[in-house]
Amino acid sequence: MDCPAATVFCDFDGTVTSIDTFDAVVSAATPQLWAELKQQLFNFEINLRQGMQALADGLTPEDLERMVAHMGQYAPRPCFLPFLAELERAGLPFVLVSGGLVPLVDEVLGSHRHRLDQLIAAEVLPHPQGGLRFHSPFANEQELVAKAEVVKRYGRGLCVVIGDSITDLGMAEVADVVFAREPLSGWLEQRGILFHYWDSFADVEAVLRHQGLLPAAAA
């Protein structure tokens, strides 16, 4: 199999979707717990794996059902599916990598899952003692879904990363080309990591065309 010129790794919440859908649905299900965890995460007082473990401990199966039902009102950004089609035409693999949960991603992108080279997110499993637990084969001590490890595992050609928030920081640090928006862009600036600011997937597409990773647009 020929190696593609690039592999595109893309976050889901707030990236494929126009708002942070994970934040929205968890806030609706357990507002007080999530507000406390989010503050600790953004202040780097706890790491992502600790935050997700605490969330799993506080959720019930009924909470998850409500989260999935709430997720049904959201859709991808308008430019996302045309962008995905351009990647398909160019033969560039698209890896959807989310720090969230598979059933939430599936509620929005399930009908397009066959178009993704990989869908990486945390699986939701029943806990032997009741409640829920989250599982990911890419977990490490810091992250439930260590996105940098996903990039290293599935990257072929240049590694292109598209993201917006704290869960995307690790993969941005190991990427060849990074597209970021707030708050991720602020953390990258602090670390001196170069990135392209993006507002829509049309912006990403334009840069990839300029870099020769996508063919020039038809006149």
pLDDT tens-digit map of 119-153 = 999 999 987 776 789 999 999 999 999 999 999 99
pLDDT tens sequence across 165-193: 888 999 999 999 999 999 999 999 999 99
Residues 6+ apart with CB under 8 A from 138: 120, 145, 146, 147, 149, 150, 153
Model confidence pTM above 0.85: yes
Nearest residue to 163 (alpha-carbon basis) of 75, 99, 68, 213: 99
Q: What are the φ/ψ torsions at residue 135 (nearest 5 degrees)?
A: -135, 140
pLDDT tens sequence across 59-117: 999 999 999 999 999 999 999 999 999 999 999 999 999 999 999 999 999 999 999 99
